[in-house]
Amino acid sequence: MTCPARLNRLRTALQESGVDGLLVTGATNRRYLSGFTGSSGYLLIDSRGGQWLATDFRYWEQARLEAPNFELLRLATKPLATLAQHCREREWKSLGFEAAHCTYEFVERLKAEAFPPLQPTSGFVEGLRIQKDEVEIELIRESAALVDRVWEEVLTIIRPGLTERELALAIEFRLRSAGASGLSFPTIVASGPRGALAHAEPTERQLVAGEMVTVDMGAVWQGYCSDLTRTVAIGRAGKDCRQVWDIVREAQQAALQGMQPGMTCREADALARDVISKAGYGDLFGHGLGHGVGLDVHEEPRLGPGTDPDLVLQEGMVVTVEPGIYRPGWGGVRLEDLVVVREDGVEVLSNALKSFNL
Ligand code: ZN
Ligand code: ZN
């Protein structure tokens, strides 16, 4: 979907809700609508037509190059006063702001300026982003492929004696070397009993033969994130490890095979959760099955038992499928792949080797 097409869809939504103008402050929403990748700037969108990118000297040339569909507004010493004046000139009766992307303090500062009546809004741009177009899906596919390639290298460096931090650093160096502009999130490496911590930070703990290690990593590629988790045995791990790993694998497989457009996100979650519950580990799978991935590594939709019951999987949604079992004091297993929802099921974008043994 091109920039003008995104703006047209946004305008339709704004008109339906009766908001005259929208102030976009979310960084990835700003990029999605305008193409501008700079870290500072505001968008103003008129529901009847017209769109502006307001930024300062540091980003002026970049804004001109990256956002040709937007008129530029120069911000200097009093940026909010400049925005307010622009809104008044457009004679907007109301200005929507993104409640999820404004601090309380920022809203107080908006109120101190002569803006049209302010209206908190949520989900206008996220509602467009929830379904990816083919250009976005290709970028996410490339981002996933980059991580897959790095995982192949990681398999050759995992060995007893290496610390979690050393492994995380080696992974991050390889992700950047392979072309990632950044990391989707700080790499998670959790070995042995620390595998029970779903979002463990790497420590000085050394990898030990006979234990498992969970690695969760992601790259940013042309703005788009990837997200991959593998748990592997270091050397010969015990039968109990293998057993838990097989249950998680089976749970993930059930979701990958069963997910369909039209199914609710809760139903998708239940596909995997049922397998884990039947095996007796239901209480140890304490998070949702997955989350949307795009310009942000965690975005809509969320797949979980508590997700909005009306939220359904739709074609073009890109989500993770990441069941896990976490046994305190023992360790854990998580397997995570990225998928895109298609007409007849899901297409798996992650192709990293999935094997219990190294
Ligand atoms: Zn992950
Ligand atoms: Zn994830």
pLDDT, one tens digit per residue, over 306-344 is: 999 999 999 999 999 999 999 999 999 999 999 999 999
pLDDT for the residue 3: 84
Question: How far is 159 from 204, CA to CA, in rounded Å?
Answer: 14
Task: Tell me the per-residue pLDDT of 7-63, one tens digit each, with 9 for 90 and over.
Answer: 999 999 999 999 999 999 999 999 999 999 999 999 999 999 999 999 999 999 999
Task: Tell me the per-residue pLDDT of 116-143, one tens digit each, with 9 for 90 and over.
Answer: 999 999 999 999 999 999 999 999 999 9
What is the pLDDT averaged over residues 212-240? 96
What is the pLDDT averaged over residues 270-293? 98
Cis amide bond preceding 79, omega within 30: no
Record the tokens describing residue 53, joined without a space.
């990118």
Distance 298 CA to ligand 2 centre (A): 7
Spell out the domain ranges in the chain.
3-129, 134-348
What is the pLDDT averaged over residues 152-176? 97
Angle at which helices 3-17 and 27-34 pack, to 10 degrees? 120
pLDDT for the residue 300: 96
The band of 1, judged by pLDDT with boundaries at 50, 70 and 90, is: low
pLDDT for the residue 195: 97
- Map residue 342 onto helix, strand or coil: strand
Question: How far is 243 from 249, CA to CA, in rounded Å?
Answer: 10
Distance 150 CA to ligand 2 centre (A): 17
Kind of pairing, strands 118-121 and 95-98?
parallel
The band of 68, judged by pLDDT with boundaries at 50, 70 and 90, is: very high
Question: Got the DSSP string for 284-299?
Answer: G--S-SEEE-SSSSSE
Distance 62 CA to ligand 1 centre (A): 32
The band of 109, judged by pLDDT with boundaries at 50, 70 and 90, is: very high
Q: Is the dihedral of CA 261, 263, 269, 273 positive or negative?
A: negative
What is the pLDDT averaged over residues 254-263? 98
CB-based contact 98:107 (threshold 8 Å): no
pLDDT for the residue 199: 87
Closest ligand, as measured to the CA of 319? 2
Distance 283 CA to ligand 1 centre (A): 20
Closest ligand, as measured to the CA of 228? 1
Closest ligand, as measured to the CA of 229? 1
Distance 184 CA to ligand 2 centre (A): 10
Closest ligand, as measured to the CA of 287? 2
Closest ligand, as measured to the CA of 218? 1
Indicate the average pLDDT of the chain: 97
What is the pLDDT averaged over residues 55-75? 96
Biggest CA-to-CA distance, the chain: 71
pLDDT for the residue 47: 97
Distance 242 CA to ligand 1 centre (A): 21
Distance 295 CA to ligand 2 centre (A): 14
Task: Count the neighbouring beta carbons within 10 Å of the beta carbon of residue 334.
Answer: 23
Q: Which of 3.40.1280.10, 3.30.70.3340, 1.10.10.60, 3.40.350.10 would CATH assign to domain 3-129?
A: 3.40.350.10
Closest ligand, as measured to the CA of 303? 2
List the beta bridge partners of residue 220: 182, 225
163: which DSSP letter?
B
Distance 118 CA to ligand 1 centre (A): 37
pLDDT at 181 over 70: yes
pLDDT for the residue 254: 98
Closest ligand, as measured to the CA of 296? 2
pLDDT at 2 over 80: no
Task: Tell me the per-residue pLDDT of 141-150, one tens digit each, with 9 for 90 and over.
Answer: 999 999 999 9
Fold of 134-348: Creatine Amidinohydrolase (3.90.230)
CB-based contact 115:85 (threshold 8 Å): no
Distance 13 CA to ligand 1 centre (A): 32
pLDDT for the residue 358: 83
Distance 234 CA to ligand 1 centre (A): 20
